[in-house]
Structure 1
């Protein structure tokens, strides 16, 4: 027997306080969007930019070729549609982002992408979900030097940027606080120039962290980050340099142990400090650990890197930097940590305790693989592999996430944490 209409609960007109309390219990950004779409009263009672959401499960941004002249696509114009794969929903999100047309998407951080236009004439941060964007200084203005007050101590931007505009000009992005804070510091790392630059919202030019010639002579730097007033710069050889924002003349140098000097190392910023992700090739694989480090430096257009269903055999170790001594401590219990690894040293970690769908002690890695049966064997595609941190065994989770652009450079495949703030 059906209930009479008077007995049906009017869910659309729950007390506003009750709706707000319920909305604050929602953790997933996808579920939050669905919650606000139920009806107008629910939408009005919930905040459009929720601050209670934890760091989200990442999506994989599929690479695209930034072709302002449309020479690559022929008669097909770039419509600005960018693809983000949600592994947890098994869904490909298609976002219309015309701001990305003709610009290289270089890196992501806290839900924002950094875009660089051809020849560096425009640099901006973009939130793909809200379409909010923040203009940063272009790479065409003179560069200041950190810690030097002389007006004539400036460098033409073209000296640092112009030869590298097309080659992943920015390989790392970080900022100190929420971007709404006028004192928020934005750091970018240019791996190919071995330099760290920073600015604040509203600045008209970049400031370069001053490095002595002897510090960079015959040295290749693998990664950099910013945390709690300090810039961290890590070389391939395992030498870590720390520069202090409030004390330009103070520099700290630390050399990693010998066993960590010839492996791939990635700096990872966390709530409790700075971490180092070490990637080792497991025993029995041809090429040794040096092959892993070399793979990260190879031209991404090399088609010989197509994977198999077993995936790359790489063992992952996690270390934490000890700020007082600049030493490192290996984290043996990674049961609540999940690492996401993409192109060009894009790496982030999520606490698996916050998500029922997430397994700890593992890594999800983007990798180029062969297409599935029935697909054109001549076109390499993107896939996601699941790797256990302790034994390095990888298994293909999903493939056919879009063909790899045949021209290089293309925007790197990167993990992106969706955010409304």
Structure 2
């Protein structure tokens, strides 16, 4: 069989065919490469596709392993592709990334005098009011959440720092934050938005959930007594309100808020087609395994800032990622020390989920 003497130039595919092919590309990285093939492919595909499923998260490192001390670059480890991604940030070298949420990063200057949201994929920027009070080392690894896409002028933004016991709220375009300083008895565990309402999750003896519309309390829900000793957080990435509970014996449970009866109900079916990405002081993410062949149903990926060890007369630390299955106490290591660098004191990494929006 002889090969044809002429081959069709892929650059001249009909635009409607190119557009159809582009809708089949799931990964944002691959989509960016797709549009970079040639000018005709770029013009035949949309700059941003709304069909993209929630992306597989990367682990954002708290330092630059390529040039220690240079904080003008953000470094992510993509352990699905076994490679690092580097992004230059638009602020000064004294900028710190305090939080990540749905593809956006909260970047704050050393004295809190400048703050913004940055999407490193699209380079979109949203200026925020300065943090005139409460920004110090304990403010690192805060929880960032918002009521809508932050490009919406009606979007409400909340930043919660568990270690400094501060809660900041503002609307996009505001000139200042509304700050709430929590006392020692107010054990706030996590915050999130759903359908415009702010949900606040408490731990310990204050074992309940509060729901607010703006600053007005709508409902208080008392949780089961057995959840008092569990580490609790909201599960982001689902359209309803879910709570992940990590019990002292490392048993993991997922609860869903029944909005009709206003109670948390233990569920099990979500684990069959869901992978969970958990890390301390970072959003707990849910990703559907139906969208990604590389994910196993019922998997939990845990980011551990590892136990320390002695190395050349100095205490060092490693970063590791473990994977566990629901109902199975054994765990397997996925990644150890992806940066090949060791630092002390240890700094927690965080999950970052790439997004076009």
* Other-structure match for 2:54: 55
Residue 217 of structure 2 corresponds to 250
Once residues 92 and 27 of structure 2 are traced to their aligned partners in structure 1, the CA distance between those partners, rounded to angstroms, is 26
- 1:124 aligned to which of 116, 130, 137: 116
1:393 aligns with 2:330: yes
Structure having the higher strand fraction is: 2
Specify which of 364, 369, 373 is matched with residue 301 of structure 2: 364
Query: Partners in 1 of 2:95 and 2:257 — Cα distance?
Result: 35
- Pair 49,99 (structure 1): closer, same or farther in 2 beyond 3 Å: farther
Q: Among 97, 101, 120, which residue is 1:105 paired with?
A: 97
Match of 2:30 in 1: 31
Deviation, 1:167, is 0.9
Q: Is the 8 A contact 1:263 1:279 kept in 2?
A: yes
Partner of 1:406: 344
Which residue of structure 1 lines up, in the alignment, with residue 107 of structure 2?
115
Distance 1:42 1:95 in 2: 25
| 1:323–1:197 Cα change, 3 Å | farther
Q: Which has the higher contact order (CA 8 A, sep 6+)?
A: 1
The aligned residue for residue 220 of structure 1 is 187
For the Cα contact (< 8 Å) 2:199–2:209, is it kept in 1? yes
CA RMSD, Structure 1 to Structure 2 (Å): 2.8
- In structure 1, what is the Cα distance between the partners aligned to 2:40 and 2:254? 46
Whether 2:228 is the aligned partner of 1:261: answer yes
User: Which aligned pairs between 1:124-163 and structure 2 lie closer than 5 A?
Assistant: 124-140=116-132, 158=133, 161-162=134-135
* Structure (1 or 2) with the greater helix fraction: 1
**1:315 paired to 2:307:** no
Alignment of 1:301-340 (within 5 A): 314-333=250-269, 334-340=271-277
Displacement of 1:275 in angstroms is 1.0
Partner of 2:154: 183
Aligned partners of 2:69 and 2:189: how far apart in 1? 36
Q: How many residues align structurally?
A: 351
Contact 1:370/1:381 (8 A) holds in 2 = yes
- TM-score w.r.t. the length of structure 2 is 0.88
Check conservation: 1:107, 1:172, Cα contact below 8 A: yes
Listed as ranges, the gaps of 5+ residues in structure 2 are none
Considering only CA atoms, is the larger Rg found in Structure 1 or Structure 2?
1
* Deviation readout 1:288-346 (Å, 9 max, x if unpaired): xxxxxxxxxxxxxxxxxxxxxxxxxx221111122233311111121111110123143
TM alignment of 1:181-220, pairs within 5 A: 181-192=152-163, 194-208=165-179, 218-220=185-187
Partner Cα separation in structure 2 for residue 84 and residue 391 of structure 1? 29
Partner of 1:347: 284
**Closer, same or farther: CA 376–134 of 1 in aligned 2, 3 Å:** farther
Q: 1:79 to 1:181 in 2, by over 3 A?
A: closer
Runs of 5+ unmatched residues, structure 1: 66-72, 141-157, 283-313
Instruction: List per-residue Cα deviations over 1:21-50 (Å, max 9, x = no partner).
Output: 110111111221221232221122222222
C-alpha spacing 1:89/1:365, structure 2 compared with 1 (3 Å): same
Q: Which runs of 4+ in 1 moved over 6 A?
A: 374-377
Task: Report the CA distance shift for 1:383/1:33 in structure 2 as closer, same or farther (over 3 A).
Answer: same
Q: Kindly state the Cα deviation for residue 279 of structure 1 after the two structures are TM-superposed.
A: 0.8
**Residues of 2 paired with 1:178 and 1:250: CA distance?**
23
Given the two structures, how large is their TM-score scaled by the length of structure 1?
A: 0.76
Q: Distance in 2 between matches of 1:13 and 1:236?
A: 60
* Alpha-carbon distance in 1 for matches of 2:240, 2:10: 45
